[in-house]
Amino acid sequence: MYHTVVHTGCAAAKWQTTEAMAFNAIWATKFASLNIYSVKCDNGAVVDNALLTYYGKEVEAVPPKTKQEIEADIKKVLEIPENLIPCQFPSLARRYYDNSTYNTAITKGLLAKTDGACDAWQNFMIDVLGVQGIMASNLGILVNQGIQDVNVFRVKSSAGGQGTANPKESIWKGHALVEYNGIVYDPSYGVSYGAKSGAREQFMRTSLESVGKSTPDPGYPQGYGLVYEALVGLLDYNLANTYFLWV
């Protein structure tokens, strides 16, 4: 499986003569293209095998249990506080009950399942670069839990992710990114937020649809709680450093 890591970097970086050129080629032709395949050898030739996706797989609905049973099961396993029941988000409940479909953390799992979460794509990008001798760093952006009523954000529903036009997961408390040479990259969505000094603002401008709180609210029966529009004047971009923290 790790042949994919080597091939992904080498196929893009060949003939590049500097580290910066190699990095730019890998980012532009692989990660920014949202079109990366695992590979295998066939009689000595490297061939495309399976498209790697970011929450790209459709999975079965949650088992036929009552809402109360599902909530109790998830809370028991994940030790979720009473005021945050993840099954109000269908994708979270679905992911929990189909954890054999997605990989949530590491390169090996992403390649085995051909589908992964943001931290799997973060580690995959760092591994691809590392094979070329290019050192990049893990970086995460997290909702500031100290801000009242703001503890979740929703990525734009129209955003395309790796291998999929509409990723099946869009509500987050945090997101895994990669930092290289002071620039912030999002391998899951194939976009860069620019220099770290202004990347939180660019994250809001580029990728967010809304932010709000994830606790249930009777006025929002769709299940997102009090999620209000963030980018239509209710939040100032200059407050990005208040609403989001680097981790």
Within-domain flag for 29: yes
Within-domain flag for 94: no
| Best CA proximity match to 207, nearest among 151, 157, 137, 141 | 157
In the prediction, which pLDDT does 214 show?
A: 59
| Residue indicated by tokens 């291998």 | 163
In the prediction, which pLDDT does 222 show?
A: 42
Domain of 117, in residue numbers: 3-57+102-246
Within-domain flag for 212: yes
In the prediction, which pLDDT does 53 show?
A: 92
| Triad 36, 38, 44: Cα angle to 5° | 125
How do residues 195-230 score in pLDDT, each as one tens digit? 999 999 899 888 887 777 655 544 444 444 444 445
| Best CA proximity match to 74, nearest among 54, 52, 89 | 89
In the prediction, which pLDDT does 85 show?
A: 43
C-alpha separations of 8 from 92, 98, 179 in Å = 30, 28, 19
**Is residue 116 a contact partner of residue 133, using CB atoms and an 8 Å limit?**
no
| Residue indicated by tokens 């703001």 | 150
Amino acid identity at 126? I
Within-domain flag for 230: yes
Within-domain flag for 132: yes
Provide the 10 A C-beta neighbour count for residue 131.
16
- The total domain count for the chain is 1
In the prediction, which pLDDT does 208 show?
A: 82
How do residues 76-92 score in pLDDT, each as one tens digit? 655 544 444 444 444 55
In the prediction, which pLDDT does 220 show?
A: 42
Within-domain flag for 89: no
Within-domain flag for 86: no
Coil vs helix vs strand at 83 = coil
Q: What is the pLDDT along the chain (247 residues), one digit of tens a residue?
A: 678 999 999 999 999 999 999 999 999 999 999 999 998 877 777 777 889 999 887 655 555 566 676 666 656 655 544 444 444 444 554 555 555 666 778 999 899 889 988 999 999 999 999 999 999 999 999 888 777 667 778 787 678 899 988 777 667 778 999 999 999 999 999 999 999 999 998 998 888 877 776 555 444 444 444 444 454 445 566 677 888 899 9
Within-domain flag for 71: no
